[in-house]
Amino acid sequence: MKSLEQQIKDRERSRIYAQTHKQERLEYRQGRKEDKAKQDHLHYEANKPRLRAQQDAYKEAHAEERSVYAHNHHLDTKDAKRVYDHEHYVKNRVKIRAHVDNYFDEHPEARKLIHFNRRAREFNAKGVFTPEEFKAKCNLYNNCCVYCGRENIVNGCVVDLEAEHAIPLIRGGDNTIDNILPTCKSCNCSKHTKTFEEFLLLHTTEEQEEILTRMYLAEYPEEALEDDKNNGDS
């Protein structure tokens, strides 16, 4: 084992070498950048369970510390990040716009939901909902309009259902998924600024029963199944 004096000399020699060969060391690191990235990736894949467990354990043990750091880091860098993001957008405007337009062409429902959430902010309505939440809601209703029961197929073509606020934003409704119902465009336009109850009263008694039944089957499938079972037993 090296003596303490020899260790000090070695450290000093390493420090001097690092200071006098900065460019060479930088070029060496740049040249090995891709190789090191590949090695790191292979190491991670080969040890993923162990490394993930270590990461999760560290996050759990330092949750409060990481939260405080993230908050302070955000406060310290938000102005610089805003400037950087703006400069990056100006520099890459064409590329970014093309990417955004391509995404919305492939996901038209996302553009609509952004419009809904923007309108909600204008009315100071609480809550937002995601494309995934609305898709799940549509699936609950078998991709049919809650009011008329029409499927989202017109002349053999799939037509997106619209997200309709049971209590309109202008009437104080919130923008959470619990206040959203899937409707066809015709019913959504007809309902306009009416509440669900007000629009329901404009239908015949038979139509009201059909609407409420559709909602019950969609929102409470387990209870509906239990009711069918009990009716069958009786």
Q: What is the per-residue pLDDT across 95-127, written as a single tens digit (0 to 9) for each?
A: 999 998 898 888 777 777 787 788 888 888 888
Q: What local confidence, expressed as pLDDT, does residue 228 receive?
A: 58
Q: What is the model's pLDDT at position 76?
A: 93
Distance between terminal CA atoms of the chain?
A: 88
Instruction: Map out the domains of the chain as residue ranges.
Output: 128-233
In the chain, beta strands by DSSP E: 153-154, 157-158, 162-165, 180-183
Integer angstrom CA distances of residue 148 from 97, 145, 196, 200, 220:
38, 6, 13, 11, 19
> Mean pLDDT over residues 56-68, rounded?
92
What is the average per-residue pLDDT within 155-181? 84
Supply the pLDDT for residue 43.
Answer: 92
More confident residue, 30 or 89: 89
Q: Which residues, 6 or more positions from 104, have their beta carbon under 8 angstroms from its beta carbon?
A: 110, 111
- pLDDT tens per residue across span 119-164: 888 888 888 888 889 889 989 999 899 999 988 755 555 567 888 9
Q: What number of CA atoms fall less than 13 Å from residue 31's CA on the CB side?
A: 6
Q: What is d(CA 140, CA 160) in angstroms, rounded to the nearest whole number? A: 15
* Residue 230 pLDDT > 70: no
Contact status, residue 134 vs residue 166, Cβ threshold 8 Å? no
pTM, two decimal places = 0.54
Q: Higher confidence at residue 109 or residue 171?
A: 171
CA 8 and chain centroid, separation: 54
The structure tokens listed for 43 are 């190491």
Q: What percent of the chain has pLDDT over 70?
A: 92
Evaluated on CA atoms 148, 150, 154, 159, the torsion sign reads positive
Question: Hey, what are 92's tokens?
Answer: 């890459």
> Considering the chain, what percentage of its residues have pLDDT values greater than 90?
48
For domain 128-233, which architecture applies? Orthogonal Bundle (1.10)
Q: Are 180 and 162 in contact (CB under 8 A)?
A: no
Mean pLDDT, the chain, whole residue set: 86
Mean pLDDT of 160-183: 91
pLDDT for the residue 62? 92
